[in-house]
Amino acid sequence: MTGGEKESLSGAFGRSILAIFVLSGLFLPTCRTTLTIKPTEHSQVIEFLKEHRLSTQNLFFPHPEERSTFTTLPHLRLVDEKGNLYFEKTGYSPDAANEMLKAAQRREVLGQIAFPRLVTIDGQDVSVKDLPKAEFYILEDWATWCSPCPELMKQLEEMLAQQPPGRFIAIKICQDLFENDRRFPSKKSPQVY
């Protein structure tokens, strides 16, 4: 292999690594931490929301049989009851609420998702059919250890207060790890980035 071929190969390798970082979201301003997450009590989640002057309405948790696939929070999606995806954003953006509102106005379907299986704070299973009817559902994946999450939730609550009833319903999906959480049978915390 000549020197030029080696240089070309190493340049291609570097570009590949950079592409992996960019595509994985490692350059987004988000909640990235390698700290060990201690299991939270459900009551602590309620206290956290109240402390940040956020609504506790429509607070849910992922179904215990479903492992969260999100390694970066906050994670925001705009969907309809059929699972059509209109907007998705990972990581904090000061303009996320406005971007989502514009996506709702465009009504451009980006893809399909399975509506997540959810559980209420008292352990009741919930599906999209159990929720009040709305034109759009805002799925907000967040956690108490995620420092930008409360700010994004405040933005969304302010935006929703200005919308007509029945247009949007915000679904707060708390991704905290709980003592009795069967998603992680080893009781070890997931890696959080």
Average pLDDT over residues 22-35: 38
pLDDT-derived band at 25, boundaries 50, 70, 90: very low
| Spatial separation of the C-alpha atoms in residues 48 and 164, rounded to whole Å | 28
pLDDT digits (tens, 9 = 90+) for 144-153: 888 899 999 9
- Mutual orientation of helices 149-161 and 96-106 as an angle, nearest 10°? 50
| Spatial separation of the C-alpha atoms in residues 62 and 116, rounded to whole Å | 7
What pLDDT shows up at residue 69? Answer: 60
Calculate the average pLDDT of the chain: 75
pLDDT-derived band at 115, boundaries 50, 70, 90: confident
Q: Is the pLDDT of residue 62 over 70?
A: yes
Give the residue extent of every domain in the chain. 1-28, 31-174
How many CA atoms are closer than 13 Å to the CA of 191, on its beta-carbon side?
Answer: 1
pLDDT-derived band at 78, boundaries 50, 70, 90: very high
Q: pLDDT > 90: what percent of the chain? A: 38
Q: Is the pLDDT of residue 76 over 90?
A: yes
pLDDT digits (tens, 9 = 90+) for 87-105: 999 988 899 999 999 999 9
- Closest to 94 in 3D by CA, of 28, 33, 50, 167: 28
Q: Is the pLDDT of residue 19 over 80?
A: no
What pLDDT shows up at residue 89? Answer: 93
Single pTM value for the model: 0.71
